[in-house]
Structure 1
Amino acid sequence: MMDWTDRHCRYLHRQLSQNALLYTEMVTSPALVRGGALHLLDFAPVEQPLALQLGGSDPAELAAAARLGAAAGYSEINLNVGCPSDRVQSGTFGAVLMRSPRLVAECCAAMIAAVDIPVTVKCRIGVDDQIPEEVLPEFLARVAGAGVTRFAIHARMAWLQGLSPKENRDIPPLNYALVQQMRGLFPHMHLSVNGGVETLDEVEAFLDAGLDGVMIGRAAYHRPVDILGAADRRIFGASTPDRTGEDAARAMLPYIEAHLSAGGRLGQVTRHMLGLFAGRPGARGWRRTLSEGAHLPGAEPELVEAALRSVMREGADADLAL
């Protein structure tokens, strides 16, 4: 989710669910420790609970980055061992580390020793020519030996040779059954499944089957209301009303005002709001209005209000037509 789940996106998603654990984009430990890019740690307190996702492969440097994350107030430090991007392969981190479970364990041990908040791992079931049924349990056991008790497992292989990062999200087949087998092999671990989950019905099915959590990326980004709007009630048992696209859009207006007053641009926020009305009458007009207008000089929150009025009119017309 690099370039997607920035602080503006997370603020929006928090308007839809108060309980879902949110994750940052992957931030590299060299950027924080050697590059001093501490602005990458910025977040609003309302985003909590929030995990900082790190990329790296040097134990000492990851420990230093974890300390920076803990000092910034994050609830969790997550090591990404699942991203297949060329950028992360060239830095010897991400999914390529599935080939080096001993190094991953060393990295996690260093981070655990450095901070008092949970250190977790996101991984794949294997890469390239590995046999996932052999690799995944060995990987989990090795890294658990370093003290990690929480894993999010993307239930696909990562093919680092021959597939693009986009293709790696779709082409390797999903193997949910293998993740379920890990639940039986490691009953004391907290295991979440990731990859291809599109609905809350699927989330509930995985939880009913014994998994501890479900991580959702693209579906939550492109259809945030479908995934997050009812999550507090259906997944977390909250008694609060479900949240709608209108609720989220209106809740974002003060945030947008503050962002613009600080010198930001409207499009930096609204690019994450395009899917708020996915599947509803007026969704196309909402997307078009924001896409075409938010990047123009002087674009103001009134553009969002105008787009929202248009969606509501189209929705009312659709109801009358029925």
Structure 2
Amino acid sequence: MSTKVFITGIGGFIGSHLSEFLARQGFEVWGSYFRPTNDMSVPRLHGKGLFNIDLRQRDHLEEALNIVRPHVIYHLAAQSYPMVSYKQPEYTVESNIIGTLNLFETMLKLGLHETRVLLASSTAAYGFIDPSEAPVTEDQPFRPAHVYGMSKAGQDLLGYTYFKAYGLDIIRMRIGNCVGRRRRGEVVSDFTMRRAQIDLDLIPPKFRVGNLYTKRAFLDVRDAVEGFLALQKKGKSGEAYNISGAEAVSMQHLLDVVLQGCEKNVHVVEDPELVRAVDELIYWNDLSKIKKDTGWFPCRKLEETVADMIDWWKGVLPCGC
């Protein structure tokens, strides 16, 4: 019998890639979506069954999980954009924290104590990190910089509580900046889209940028889903694991990589509107724990990821996708 996997948030960027990856690994993939941010054709192609569920509605979630009774749950569903959390803090908290609470309570009601949960927390929960503290280990205290980061810290703490107090098999994945094809609405996606637009003569060769001094460790989504599976198989119940890029780079370095090989003379302009009022100086995480317990370590270079994303954008921009 195939292992049944249920992915909440299967209509998101990571969820769509994970559905494709796990199906090719021989898993029976099910999932739920609400306000999908990615093309649903991918999970529909690879999923055995999909449910349109707002996780804030516990009865709908209970109905779906009782039908599937999965062996593994990847809980990815969330309002996943920090900038949105500034404008919609209530929705962010309800979706991320109440949605997670509903999942765990439903599992208890249905007796799914043997189901392994891979909970998508975030390195945004760490928040304000002094560069002297980086790379941070899983023992780093939470000092979130915005409501999104706070909501991911809340999810993370709920995961620990329901493991410790109720015995649910929960692993907390503190995921870093995850990027790749089909990603929209973050800096690598924005930079690579504009590079593709410039190459295709869709916009003038002018690049508006915000703060180029902050640093981030970017994780290719193909590395990410391989890391998720490694944790599913070998991760220790109740533990938290950093899963992110291995090296932090400045936004200036990212820009240099994106513009590398561009045949146009690109004019870079700093735009105050793109500078966040509150921004973390660095996201860079120690990966020793996940490597020790599972053997996983990211292998794709930023240059490879960026080139792949530019190529994808060139394919979808002409058709307005």
TM-score band, normalised by shorter chain = 0.3 to 0.5
Question: What is the TM-score when the length of structure 2 is the normalising length?
Answer: 0.37
Higher Rg: 1
TM-score, normalising length: structure 1: 0.37
Larger RCO of the pair (alpha carbons < 8 Å, separation 6+) = 2
